[in-house]
């Protein structure tokens, strides 16, 4: 018989044994693995023990691209913020739902009879989600109207952006982000300043004035009266520092430029998100009508909806989705992701909203065997700090999409490590150069405050194709080099 003290010791011993047992089992499993796999696991675990990740969270998953077999995982089932790795999910769902050749039309409709070159009614510019519209496209629409014989519009020119709902920002966009280009408002009718296609933005640049004491020379691309420039700058002596800020006043389209710029200084430039981007598109279209000599008797009006009686006069189509994927994924364009989410909602449920679009994304993931039930999806771009996705599910997605007929276009859209070409290397063009990962790793990057991610494909030294997903959260300082070290280690793998 045990004494009372002996019983207590026995209980402590048994409890200790039960706590240690799982660890011993895991160790035995690792020993049973091949020496090469054990070596790879040891290398990756050592990298993740970096002191820079002290107090942070890391989730890593590595699979064989041929079999989908899991080769390594470190907190692989832990839900973490994916940042722009969320775009991997959005792009796959969009390709499956919309198709590689899918395009976004923009229509011009007339509500009235055309007599003697005059439209006796209103003219509607109806957007259907195209995030690549530029000044040149509105000029093309105006030329086409002229070719159709319209020389004058007796009524108003009206913007119709009702293809999607009127919610401009996803619910987790922070107040201090909303005037920045990467958080531009989402509208079915919008415009971009250049071929990066940051829809809903303008480029504002400040150049030195001719003489000291002059205001800076401010240039806006595209030229538009939709924003109001408030110039509070001064050109200073050549030996003075440049200190220019370019900001949009919240709730307005007043762009305030403040500070000093030396007389021989370089420009300061910023992409600024506008408020209600359909107004920017309408202004560019109105300019184009004027340049073509088409008179408008009425006014420019926002928030209109073309009546059923309106007839299409002309239209223009965007590039196909397979081409849009390049600026979207290579440059990690947030606006494109959100447009695709709303478009999927419109096509599947006839509602261009985040709610209906994200339902489509989740259903696609479930259909291919990725566990959407373990995720929280709040937007299509990864801007939300509320998104939560495990690394194992991202790597599973990257395995499953390899069997899709559109996979080649999906893979082509991913940034390529070390490739200096902007629309090839994308956000990886300055990373992992002069290593075995150079021109080898194809992966999507992601970055938020305290969040970085990298998920994609790499070919190991033995020719084996590997899939990996790395999600790092809640760190202080910079840990991007840890991602690169993991990717390079996988590229060096000789197992």
- Domain coordinates in residue numbering, the chain: 31-101+322-491, 105-168+277-318, 201-273
| Residue tagged active-site, from 61, 84, 187, 268 | 84
Return the structure tokens found at 419.
């490739």
Structure tokens at 478: 């910079």
Peptide bond before 222: cis, by omega within 30 degrees of 0?
A: yes
Question: What pLDDT score does 37 carry?
Answer: 56
Percent of the chain with pLDDT over 70: 93
List strand residue ranges (DSSP E) for 279-329, in order.
295-296, 300-301, 311-317
What's the full length of the chain, in residues?
495
Dist CA 269 CA 220 (whole Å): 10
CA distance 362 to 359: 5
What is the per-residue pLDDT for 25?
28
| Residue 258, pLDDT above cutoff 50 | yes
Q: How confident is the model at residue 23 (pLDDT cuts 50, 70, 90)?
A: very low
Helices 334-349 and 86-98: crossing angle in degrees, nearest 10, is 40
For 368-403, the three-class secondary structure string (H helix, E strand, C coil) is: CCCCHHHCECCCCCCCCCCCEEEHHHHHHHHHHHHH
pLDDT in tens, 38-60: 799 999 999 999 999 999 999 99
Q: In what order do the strands lie in the sheet with 243-248?
A: 228-236, 254-262, 243-248
Q: Active site includes 332?
A: yes
CB 387 within 8 A of CB 88: no
Compute the 3-state secondary structure of the chain and give helix, strand, coil in percent, each to the nearest 5: 35, 25, 40
- Other C-beta atoms closer than 10 Å to the C-beta of 450 total 17
pLDDT tens figures, 377-402 = 999 999 999 999 999 999 999 999 99
Q: 84 an active-site residue?
A: yes
* C-alpha distance across the termini of the chain, in Å: 56
| φ/ψ (deg, to 5) at 14 | -65, -40
Whether the per-residue pLDDT at 458 is higher than 60: the answer is: yes
Q: Please check the confidence at residue 13 and state whether its pLDDT lies above 60.
A: no
CA distances from 256 to 179, 205, 218 (A): 12, 12, 11
pLDDT at 489: 98
Backbone dihedral angles phi then psi of residue 304, each to the nearest 5 degrees: -95, 170
The SS3 call for residue 196 is: coil
Backbone angles phi, psi at 228, to 5 degrees: -110, 120
pLDDT tens-digit map of 120-179: 999 999 999 999 999 999 999 999 999 999 999 999 999 999 999 999 999 999 988 999
Q: How far, in Å, CA of 223 to CA of 235, rounded? A: 23
The region that residue 450 occupies, defined by phi over 0 for left and psi between -120 and 50 for alpha, beta otherwise, is: left
Instruction: Kindly name the residue from 81, 87, 135, 330 that is annotated as catalytic.
Output: 87
Residues 297-335 pLDDT 10s:
999 999 899 999 999 999 999 999 999 999 999 999 999
Section 418-446 average pLDDT? 98
pLDDT at residue 74 greater than cutoff 90:
yes
**Which among 417, 400, 392 is positioned nearest to 470, based on CA atoms?**
392
Banded pLDDT at 35 (limits 50, 70, 90): low
pLDDT (tens digit, 9 = 90+) per residue, 229-251? 999 999 999 999 999 999 999 99
Average pLDDT, the chain: 93
Q: Are 106 and 128 in contact (CB under 8 A)?
A: yes
**How is residue 462 written in tokens?**
């033995």
pLDDT (mean) for 455-480: 97
* Whether the predicted pLDDT of 34 surpasses 90: no
Beta-strand relationship, 152-153 and 157-160: unpaired
Same fold, 31-101+322-491 and 105-168+277-318: no
Q: What is the pLDDT of residue 308?
A: 95
What CATH number matches the domain at 31-101+322-491, 3.40.50.300, 3.30.465.10, 3.40.710.10, 3.40.50.720?
Answer: 3.40.710.10
Does domain 105-168+277-318 fall into CATH 3.50.80.20? yes
User: Which CA distances in Å does 57 have to 53, 86, 448?
Assistant: 7, 18, 14
- From 61, 270, 318, 332, active-site residue: 332
Instruction: Give the pLDDT of residue 495.
Output: 82
- pTM value is 0.91
214: Cβ contacts below 8 Å, ≥ 6 apart: 234, 235
């Amino acid at each position: 018989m045990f004494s009372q003290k002996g019983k207590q010791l026995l209980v402590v011993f048994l409890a200790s044994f039960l706590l240690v047992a799982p660890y011993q089992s895991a160790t035995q499993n690792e020993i049973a693995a091949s020496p090469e796999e054990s070596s790879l696991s040891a290398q990756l675990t050592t990298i993740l023990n970096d002191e820079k990740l002290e107090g942070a969270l890391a989730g890593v998953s590595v699979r064989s691209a041929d079999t989908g077999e899991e080769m390594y995982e470190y907190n692989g089932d832990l839900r973490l913020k994916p940042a722009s790795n969320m775009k991997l999910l959005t792009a796959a769902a969009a390709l499956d739902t919309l198709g590689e050749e899918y395009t976004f039309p923009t229509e011009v409709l007339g509500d009235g009879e055309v007599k003697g070159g005059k439209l006796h009614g209103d003219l509607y510019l109806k957007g259907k989600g195209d995030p690549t519209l530029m000044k040149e496209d509105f000029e093309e629409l105006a030329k086409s109207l002229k070719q159709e014989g319209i020389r004058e519009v007796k009524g108003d020119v009206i913007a119709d952006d009702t293809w999607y709902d009127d919610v401009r920002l996803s619910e987790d966009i922070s107040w201090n982000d909303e005037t920045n280009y990467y958080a531009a408002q989402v509208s079915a009718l919008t415009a971009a300043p250049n071929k990066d296609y940051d829809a809903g933005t303008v480029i504002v640049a400040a150049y030195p004035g001719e003489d000291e004491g002059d205001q800076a020379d401010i240039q806006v691309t595209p030229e538009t009266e939709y924003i109001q420039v408030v110039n509070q700058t001064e050109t200073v002596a050549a030996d003075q520092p440049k200190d220019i800020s370019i900001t949009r006043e919240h709730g307005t389209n007043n762009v305030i430029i403040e500070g000093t710029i030396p007389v021989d200084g370089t420009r300061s430039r910023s992409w600024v998100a506008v408020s209600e981007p359909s107004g920017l598109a309408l202004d560019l279209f109105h300019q184009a009508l004027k340049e073509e000599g088409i008179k408008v008797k009425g006014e420019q009006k926002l928030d209109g909806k073309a009546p059923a009686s309106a007839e299409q006069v002309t239209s223009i189509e965007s590039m196909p989705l397979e081409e849009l994927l390049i600026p979207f994924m290579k440059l990690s364009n947030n606006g494109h992701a959100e447009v695709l989410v709303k478009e999927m909602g419109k096509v599947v449920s006839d509602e261009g909203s985040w709610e209906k679009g994200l339902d489509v994304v989740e259903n696609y993931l479930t259909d291919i065997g990725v566990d959407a039930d373990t995720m929280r999806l709040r937007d299509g771009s990864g801007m939300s700090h509320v998104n939560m996705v495990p690394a194992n599910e991202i790597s599973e997605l990257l395995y499953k999409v390899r069997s899709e007929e559109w996979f080649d276009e999906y893979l082509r859209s991913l940034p390529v490590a070390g490739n200096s070409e902007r629309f090839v290397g994308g956000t990886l063009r300055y990373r992992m150069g002069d290593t075995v990962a150079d021109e080898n790793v194809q992966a999507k990057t992601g970055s938020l405050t305290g969040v970085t991610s990298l998920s994609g494909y790499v070919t190991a030294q033995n020719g084996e194709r590997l899939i990996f997903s790395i999600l790092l959260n809640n760190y202080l300082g910079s840990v991007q080099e840890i991602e690169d070290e993991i990717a390079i280690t996988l590229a060096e793998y000789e197992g």
